[in-house]
Structure 1
Amino acid sequence: MNPILRPATAADYPAVLALNLEAEALMSPMDEPRLAMLDRQSAYHRVVCDGHAVIAFLIALDQTADYDSPNYRWYRQRYPRFLYIDRIAVAASHRARKLGGLLYADLFAFARERGFDSVAAEFYIEPFNEASSRFHARHGFAEVGTQWVADGKKRVSLQIAPVTTQ
């Protein structure tokens, strides 16, 4: 496989929605209107393709977005400038092929080129998402806070990585 990384387009929406649905237990649900809104507000929205098939995506917003996510709002209240990873998903059929790392490396290069100091992300710690915890640690993220979400059913670890570490 020779993955192709490129900017997302509206034609990718069905595949992005399918990938989000496949990983919905680990992130927020998303329908097409929400995806269109996130795409419009995103600073970064790219997909990874295997041939013509979209097999991964990442959406990130900067501090200027008008976004209702409690996690995004947490960062916006505390950091003057950042890139926030709203969601990343890799097709189950293509996991363990370093596609998440490919997207993160590209995002950090994007952040460096645009003068961002930090990248923000979160993952569930109740219930614990061990794979995401290890993945983020490998990419230089460290916990800067926690909060309960989903009506108190889930708790997230709020993470920051300095752009210079990548």
Structure 2
Amino acid sequence: MALAIRDVREHDLDAVLALNNTAGRSILVLDAAQLRYFYEHADYFRVAEIDGELAGFLIALRDGRDYGSPNYRWFSEHYPSFVYIDRIVVANAYRRHGLGRIFYCDVNSFAEVRVPLLTCEVFLEPIDDVVVLFHGTYGFQEVGQQRMGEHGPQVSLLAKDLPSFAYVRDTYLEHGGLPDLPWLASRVPYLTHNDSKPRRLAGERRS
């Protein structure tokens, strides 16, 4: 089995949308315009390919985005700097094989050189004990709860401290930025020119 975790490409979007909208009630349905927003603005948008098949994806955004999610807004009101996991979806055929942990390790590595906090939420209505346990064992702690809209589900707002960030900030971000290495590069999500391939930049100085 050949597994690859890579940045999303435009030709993946139809498959990503279909996967999202058949994931079940714990994942909010998207339309094409909402998915295009993520393609153009998400700081982290990676897919998993297994033997050439789309097996899952994870979307995350940094603070400072113009994003209307009530949960993202909650974190924006309470924390100055974070990466917010908006959603993770794994195809039914590839569940229970550790792909969720692989994604979380990857987004953790992305976040810990940029921000002090990794955040997300889990639904409490209906509650999924497997999901709650997964996040607890991965180091997340509840920092709040809220209801998503007047009639929406109650959610638990979770945050994970990233202790490596202080070292990265003091050693690199405040002294010229990250090294120019491919695994440290940042996604440039919105192509405003006639580029045919996503461009990635390293050495960012945001903290």
Question: With structure 2 as the length reference, what TM-score do the two structures score?
Answer: 0.76
Residue number in structure 2 paired with 1:30? 30
Corresponding residue for residue 116 of structure 2: 117
Instruction: Please give the alpha-carbon distance, in whole angstroms, between the structure 2 residues aligned to 1:163 and 1:98.
Output: 22
Q: 1:150, CA displacement in angstroms?
A: 4.8
User: Structure 1 vs Structure 2: percent identity of aligned residues?
Assistant: 37
Match in the other structure for 1:17: 17
Match of 1:134 in 2: 133
Length, aligned pairs only:
164
Structure 1 match to 2:75: 75
Post-superposition Cα deviations, 1:28-54, rounded to whole Å, max 9, x if no partner, equal 110111011012111100000012211
Unpaired stretches in structure 1, ≥5 consecutive residues: none
Q: Distance in 2 between matches of 1:40 and 1:103?
A: 20
Q: What code does the residue aligned with 1:81 have?
A: S
Q: Take 1:16 and 1:164, find their aligned partners in 2: how far apart are those partners? A: 32
Counterparts of 1:151 and 1:54, CA distance in 2: 35
Larger radius of gyration: 2
The corresponding residue for 1:58 is 58
- Check the 8 A contact 1:41/1:66 in 2, yes or no: no
Structure with higher helix content: 1
Which amino acid in 2 is paired with 1:52? G
Question: Which consecutive unaligned segments of at least 5 residues does structure 2 have?
Answer: 165-207
Aligned mates of 1:77, 1:144 — CA distance in 2: 13
SS at match of 1:25: coil
Q: Which moved more, 1:72-81 or 1:105-114?
A: 105-114
RMSD of aligned alpha carbons: 1.3
Show CA shifts across 1:4-37 (max 9, x none).
1000011111111122112140021101110110
CA displacement at 1:3 relative to structure 2: 1.2
Q: Tell me the equivalent position of 1:143.
A: 142
Q: TM-score, normalised by structure 1?
A: 0.94
Q: Secondary structure at the match of 2:144?
A: strand
Partner Cα distance (1:88, 1:113) in 2: 21
Secondary structure of the 2:145 match is: strand
- In structure 1, what residue type is equivalent to 2:128? N
Tell me what 2:203 maps to: none
| Corresponding position of 1:4 | 4
User: Could you tell me how far apart the structure 2 residues matched to 1:133 and 1:59 are?
Assistant: 19
* Corresponding position of 1:103: 103
The whole-number CA distance in structure 2 between the counterparts of 1:2 and 1:96 is: 17
Structure showing the higher strand proportion among its residues: 1
Which runs of structure 1 show a deviation greater than 3 angstroms over 4 or more consecutive aligned residues? Answer: none
The corresponding residue for 1:92 is 92
Q: Is the 8 A contact 1:62 1:84 kept in 2?
A: yes
CA distance in structure 2 between the partners assigned to 1:41 and 1:48 by the alignment: 19
